[in-house]
Amino acid sequence: MTAETNRWPHGKVGVVAIVGRPNVGKSTFLNQALGYHLTAVTNRPQTTRKHWRGFLSTDDGQIIFVDTPGIHKEQDELGKSMLFSVHGAMKDADAVLCICDPTRNPGREDNLVIERTAKSKVPVLLVMNKADVADAEQQEASRAAYRAGLPDLRGEYLVSAKTGDGVPELLQATRDLLPEGPFLFPADELSDSYERDIGAELIREAAMELLYDEVPHCLAVQIDEWKETEKGPNIMATLLVETESQKAIVIGKQGSVISKIRKNAQARLKDNVEGTPRLALYVKVSPSWRNRRTTLRELGLS
């Protein structure tokens, strides 16, 4: 063994899947835990479309978090891929954080989450999120529903992923569930995602925030070019939509919508990359891309 491998850190190390129905705050929690904007957050359900890994390294361990798409009744090939991704993440995990949102009455999607989580062979913690807005009665209703379906829960935590309240205690409890071992990634690495994939998510997030109705669900972002320069990256990206009418909405009157999307996306990219990014955006119609396996593969969603 060399001096170098002697120094490789050890501690509580393992993979932790973050699961729950859409819109409960899974991605917000991961970003809060990492202190880094890794995955897209919006107020629309089914924002996250594939799993994303974020690494939280501390003196006493390394948690490999896996943010997953919300568990829902799938309706297309994209939905199937999303659920497949949740299943894979849970299968490979050492522990599961099952996140719920007490501000919404427990319903059909919560039952789907409970059903799938109950099959997990590893420890599960229940995380009741949105403590900043959920009242005691709502918390009790969610707690009762999840407790009833998950009798082997290893703990329950009330947190606000938005404000960070309760998050340090939950992180410590999560770490305590993990086995001892060597770090799986260098301690200064935050994720194994490519910068351009994170960039595509930030652009999609900015676009989803400005679009309404069905358009956000029909939208995908493809990075056509990511060229590093001394001043920062030059990025060319295409927004894929499914119909000409969606394309018209995304462009807006005299390009007003796409120019706002570009401006907001560029500001988000600036927080995540070195230097000043320059972003050019295009819009393309790709009919039924959510049902085309080849396009899903090209977008890294299958």
Give me the residues that bind Mg ion (CB under 5 A), please.
Answer: 26-27, 47-48
Type of residue found at 177:
L
- Assess 143 for contact with ligand GTP (CB under 6 A): no
Taking the complex as a whole, the smallest distance from the CB of residue 42 to Mg ion amounts, in Å, to 8
* Binding residue (CB under 6 A) for ligand GTP from 12, 17, 46, 138: 46
- Binding partner of 132, given Mg ion, ligand GTP, none, CB within 5-8 angstroms per partner class: ligand GTP
- Binding partner of 129, given ligand GTP, Mg ion, none, CB within 5-8 angstroms per partner class: ligand GTP
Maximum separation of any 2 CA atoms in the chain, in Å: 65
CA distance 269 to 221: 14
- Window 50-109: residues binding ligand GTP (CB under 6 A): 69-70
Supply 265's token pair.
């996306």
* Ramachandran sector of residue 145 (left: φ over 0; alpha: ψ -120 to 50; beta: rest): alpha
Taking the complex as a whole, the smallest distance from the CB of residue 2 to ligand GTP amounts, in Å, to 42
Q: Each residue of 155-179: b (16+ CB within 10 Å) or e?
A: ebbbbbbbeeebbeebbebbbebbe
Q: 135-138 long-range CB contacts below 8 Å, 24 or more apart? A: 138/102, 138/103, 138/105
* Binding residue (CB under 6 A) for ligand GTP from 22, 61, 106, 216: 22
- Window 162-221: residues binding ligand GTP (CB under 6 A): 162
Residues that bind ligand GTP (CB under 6 A): 20, 22-28, 41-43, 45-48, 69-70, 129-130, 132-133, 160-162
